[in-house]
Structure 1
C-alpha cells in the first residue's frame, strides 16, 4: 500500500491540527440551539452534521439550516438516505450481517443520488455517506461536473474504516473526511493517518449505539496522532433519535445543547495542553492533497447518477 508523503505537514490547509464538529444536529431548531450554545461558551464549531437524512427535511427546513449555518460560519453536512437498517429487507437487522446502513439495489443508489442532487441544489456543501458505492458514484459525478466540484463527501461512522488499507481505499473512492470507529487506539489512529490525507473524524464521546466511549482525556493525544482531525462530540446516555421528527424535537434540541457543552469541556482541556492555538480558524472547510483513483476511472459515465441528474 502506498503511503502519503510523510514529509508534508499533517495539517489542514489553514495549518490547523484540529476542528470541532457537533453531530446529530437534527433540524433548524437543533441548529439554533447549537448556535446559541456556541455563543454562550465562545466556542468555535467548524461543522455541524445531521443523521436522520435529507429525506426527513423539507426544502424550507434545508434552506433555513443552510442560511443559519452560513451566518454562524459553520459547515452543514446532511446524511444521505436510504440505509439498510431502515429498509424493508431483514438482513441488515440480523446479528452478524455486514449490510448495516449500506444501500440495497440500484433503486436505493438512485434514491441516494437524488438526495445528493436535491441537497446540493438547496445549497448544502457537505454530504454524509454510508455506502462505498454511493460514495464513488457521487465522486465521479463531482469530477464530471454533474455535482458541484466543491461538494465535500464525508464517510459515515456507521461504515467507517478501521485499518489503514481500508482508509486508503475510502479516500481514493472520493471521501474528503472519514469517520472512523470510536474505539480505535491512539496508535491505530496514527496508522490510519499514515495511510492517507483525508481528514479523520473521531468521536471523543460516542453515542451509546456506537459504543458509548468517553475519551475526553485522550483528546490531546488524538490530535497529535490523527491530525488533521475533526473532534466529534456525541452523547452517552442519550436516546437514539433517528429518524427525528416533531415528536422528538425537544429531546433533539436538549441533546444538541449538551453536545456543545461537551465540546466546550474538551476545548478547555486542549487549551490547558497548549493546543488551542493549533485549531483551525472559524469557518475553515478546505481539505486538500487527497489521493483518488485514476481520473480515467473517475471519468467513466455513471449510469445511476446520469439518470438522476438528467431526469
Structure 2
C-alpha cells in the first residue's frame, strides 16, 4: 500500500526535480523544448555511459570494482590521470586484464605534460600552455607512452595536446596503433564552443571532456554541429571548479547525448602524479567516487530518467568526422 503524498509518488514517465510540487504552488516551469534535445546516440542506441576517473593503479581499480559490485553501479570506463609513465608494465597489464574481464574500458593518460616539466610559464597567473606537450621530446614521450600502453592491452588513451591527438590518430590510421584504440580529450584542455569541439573530433577524438561549467544551452549548441561523445563531470574536482550537478543529470543527458557521466569528487586532495605516499587518499576517494555515482543513478531513477544507458561492455563511438590524414588532400 502506497501512503506517500500524491506529490511524491513515482510518475508514469520522466519528470523534472520538484515539478509537481512547484506546479501545486503555481511555480511550474515551461515545458522542455523538444528542439533542445540531442539528436545523437552511441552506436548501440544508448544515450549515456558512466566513467570513474582518477583510478591511479591496480589497488584503486580493485576498490572501484569491489565497490561498484557492492553498490550495483554500472561502469563503462575507468580513467587514470597520472600517466602511463607512472605505471610499471606489470601494473598496466594487471589493470588491463581486470578491466577486460569485466568489459570495462581502461583509459590511461599519455606522457609528459607542461605542468610537470621545466617550463615556468605554467606556474604563472596565465597558466601558459597548460598540459600541452612542450617540444619534440615531450611529443615523442606521449607517443612512446601510447605505443607501450596499447601493446600491454590498454584500449583508450587520454590526451591533453592537439598535436599529440592528431599524431595518435595518424598512427591509428596507419595501423601502428590498434584500430580499436579510442582517443579521449582531457577536461583540462576541453573545448567550450561548437567550432572547437568539431576541430577536436576531426583531429581524431573519440570522446571530448568538455569543461564542467558549460550550460545546457552550450551543450545544445555543440550538438547541432557534432555527434562526438562528450564526457562531463557530474561532480567536478576542485581544480575544475568543484561543481556538483547531480540534479541536472537528466537534462544534461537529454541535451548532450551521447554522454559519459563522470563521477568526480569535490573537496578531495589532488593525487597527480600518484605514488604510494598517497595510497590512503587514492583508495578512499576511489571508493567515494563510486558512491557518488550511486547517488546520481538513484536520482535518475527517482525521476524516471534512468533509461537509455548503453549496454555494459559498450565502448566504441561510432562513425565520426575526421580530417584527412593524407597531406595531399
More helix by share: 1
What whole-Å deviation, never above 9, does each CA across 1:214-258 have from its counterpart, x for those lacking one? 100000000000000000011001000000101111110110000
Distance 1:89-1:295 versus aligned 2 partners, 3 A rule: closer
TM-score when normalising by structure 2 = 0.87
Query: How far 1:205 sits from its partner (Å)?
Result: 0.3
Cα distance in 2 between the residues matched to 1:244 and 1:11 = 35
Provide, for residues 29-57 of structure 1, a one-character-per-residue CA deviation record: whole Å limited to 9, x for no partner: 00000001111111111000000000000
Match of residue 222, structure 1, among 238, 248, 252: 252
Q: Verify: 1:155 aligned to 2:197, yes or no.
A: no
**Gap runs ≥5 in structure 2:** 1-35
Partner of 1:65, secondary structure, is helix
Counterpart check, 1:141 vs 2:168? no
Q: Which residue is 1:243 aligned to?
A: 273
In the other structure, the counterpart of 2:32 is: none
Residues 286-306 of structure 1 show CA distances to partners (whole Å, capped at 9, x for unaligned) of 111200012424x99xxxxxx
Candidates 85, 88, 93, aligned match of 2:123: 93
For the residues of structure 1 that align with 2:294 and 2:59, how far apart are their CA atoms? 20
SS at match of 1:278: coil
Q: Where does the alignment leave 5 or more consecutive residues of structure 1 unmatched? A: 1-5, 301-311
What is the rounded CA distance, in whole Å, between the counterparts of 2:171 and 2:90 in structure 1?
26
Count of paired positions: 294
Aligned partner of 1:35 among 52, 59, 65: 65
Which residue does the alignment assign to 1:81?
111
1:92 Cα deviation from its structure 2 partner: 1.3
**Displacement, 1:7?**
12
The separation in 2 between residues aligned to 1:81 and 1:147, in whole angstroms, is 16
Q: Does the CA-based 8 Å contact 1:207-1:235 persist in structure 2?
A: yes
Q: Secondary structure at the match of 1:296?
A: coil
Show the counterpart of 1:292: 322
Q: Structure 1 residue 19: deviation in Å? A: 0.3
The RMSD of aligned alpha carbons is 1.6
User: 2:37·2:220 contact (CA, 8 Å) conserved in 1?
Assistant: no
Runs in 1 of length 4+ with deviation above 6 angstroms?
Answer: none
